[in-house]
Amino acid sequence: MMRIGMLTSGGDCQALNAAMRGVVKCIANSGEEVEFYGFLNGYKGLIYSDFRMLTSRDFSGILTKGGTILGSSRTPFKTIKDPDENGLDKVEAMKQNYYKLKLDCLVILGGNGSQKTANLLSEEGLNIVSLPKTIDNDLWGTDMTFGFQSAVDIATGVIDNIHTTADSHGRVFIIEVMGHKVGWLTLNAGLAGGADVVLIPEIPYDIDKVCNAIRARDERGSRFTIIAVAEGAISKKDAKLSKKEYKEKVANRKYPSVSYEIAEAIQKKTGHEVRVTVPGHMQRGGAPDPYDRVFASRLGAEAGWLVLKKQYGYMVAYKNREIVKVPLKDIAGKLKSVAPDAGIIKEAKALGVCFGD
């Protein structure tokens, strides 16, 4: 009898359920006798032994369902080795709960911080297989993460809808897109939605260059400008600050995010009316799109095979259009950013997109 634990950690996204379903169906269809244990609310469930046994019924009808049937939470890696408020050693607690249930393997679905904890548990001797979940698409070792394409679809839809009102009123519209410290989501949604300016963390912007792009559109007779701004976008001036200085500036920022700061500067320098739209967490929500349903199912099936073959210590990944496995130790703690000289950036510039540089 195999005993498999599963948990979903960090921010939720589309296709978490589809990926878990893929794992379960692969193992169940192999003919192996198996019990599945779902830890609730991410690593917290593993720390505090909050779990429930899962049956095939739990995975029926969830292919198209967003969110996660197990619940999720953020358990920051930087504090994972710190005792909790009651003095509990969290790492030791996770290990003991794994052994108490006599698990053969723990399948972890998560993003950057979650993969670091997954690698830590692997180094502590637990059998771990992980899956790459994040709308940010910032995990090292994989060309794509599930949840990303669905989030691109949603952000693109927002930009599409903004076009008509921007044109009607002759305004500058800023759409703030999620993505944490990287610009993959903003870049792809911006290109798909026909944004005129795209500002991402990897390419610090000069506000005067952005304003020049707006003026150039004015001279060509364009009534509006669409700007896609990553939540982590940073100006050239701020990029020169130390990490501490920049954190202090953000903490004392007049507005809730960089988009409003950019809007104020544009309004002052150009005289244009500027509006900001922040779709926020709706980019994580709703049903996964068809691409993510297929993609997450494939990743889940591969994870199931790794479990059956007892190949542990790996994250299932997507490289060169193939599903592969990559060692957790090789990817944990590494961020996959957009290279400023990447082909997609050069091609976007050829299309007339301004990056503020």
Chain centroid to CA 268: how far?
34
**DSSP code per residue over 85-147:** TT---HHHHHHHHHHHTT-SEEEEEE-HHHHHHHHHHHHTT--EEEEEB-TT--BTT-S--BT
DSSP SS3 for 164 = helix
Query: pLDDT (tens digit, 9 = 90+) per residue, 266-300?
Result: 999 999 999 999 999 999 999 999 999 999 999 99
DSSP SS3 for 235 = strand
pLDDT at residue number 216? 95
Instruction: Tell me the backbone φ, ψ of residue 141, rounded to 5 degrees.
Output: 90, -5
> What is the edge-to-edge ordering of all strands in the sheet holding 225-230?
197-199, 225-230, 172-177, 274-277
pLDDT at residue number 288? 97
Query: pLDDT (tens digit, 9 = 90+) per residue, 144-156?
Result: 999 999 999 999 9
Query: pLDDT (tens digit, 9 = 90+) per residue, 325-348?
Result: 999 999 998 999 999 999 999 999
For 117, the token pair is: 């904890």
pTM higher than the cut 0.85: yes
Identity of the amino acid at 54 = L
Distance linking the first and last C-alpha atoms of the chain:
59
Query: pLDDT (tens digit, 9 = 90+) per residue, 59-104?
Result: 999 999 999 999 999 999 999 999 999 999 999 999 999 999 999 9
Query: pLDDT (tens digit, 9 = 90+) per residue, 246-265?
Result: 888 888 888 889 999 999 99
DSSP SS3 for 9 = coil
pLDDT at residue number 163? 92
* Beta carbons within 8 Å of 53's beta carbon, 6+ residues apart: 35, 36, 37, 38
Is 341 an annotated catalytic residue? no
pLDDT at residue number 56? 84
pLDDT at residue number 32? 87
Taking the C-alpha atoms of residue 140 and residue 138, their distance in angstroms, rounded to an integer, is 6
- What would the mean pLDDT of 171-176 be, rounded to a whole number? 96
Taking the C-alpha atoms of residue 318 and residue 144, their distance in angstroms, rounded to an integer, is 6
pLDDT at residue number 247? 85
Query: pLDDT (tens digit, 9 = 90+) per residue, 199-248?
Result: 999 999 999 999 999 999 999 999 999 999 999 999 999 999 888 888 88
Q: Using an 8 Å Cβ cutoff, are 154 and 279 in contact?
A: yes
For 217, the token pair is: 């559109």
Taking the C-alpha atoms of residue 148 and residue 134, their distance in angstroms, rounded to an integer, is 6
* CATH architecture of the domain with residue range 150-284: 3-Layer(aba) Sandwich (3.40)
What are the distances in angstroms from CA 45 to CA 39, 159, 278?
A: 5, 38, 32
pLDDT at residue number 246? 84
pLDDT at residue number 254? 83
Taking the C-alpha atoms of residue 80 and residue 83, their distance in angstroms, rounded to an integer, is 8
From the candidates 12, 50, 89, 136, which is the catalytic residue?
Answer: 136
The residue count of the chain comes to: 357
From the list 40, 328, 355, 350, the residue with the least C-alpha distance to 197 is 355
- What would the mean pLDDT of 307-331 be, rounded to a whole number? 97
Domain positions in the chain are 2-147+288-331, 150-284
Taking the C-alpha atoms of residue 306 and residue 242, their distance in angstroms, rounded to an integer, is 43
Q: Using an 8 Å Cβ cutoff, are 304 and 29 in contact?
A: no
pLDDT at residue number 233? 96
Classify domain 2-147+288-331 at the CATH topology level.
Rossmann fold (3.40.50)
The answer on pLDDT for 158 being more than 90 is: yes
Q: Using an 8 Å Cβ cutoff, are 145 and 335 in contact?
A: no
Comparing 2-147+288-331 with 150-284, is the CATH topology the same? yes
pLDDT at residue number 255? 86
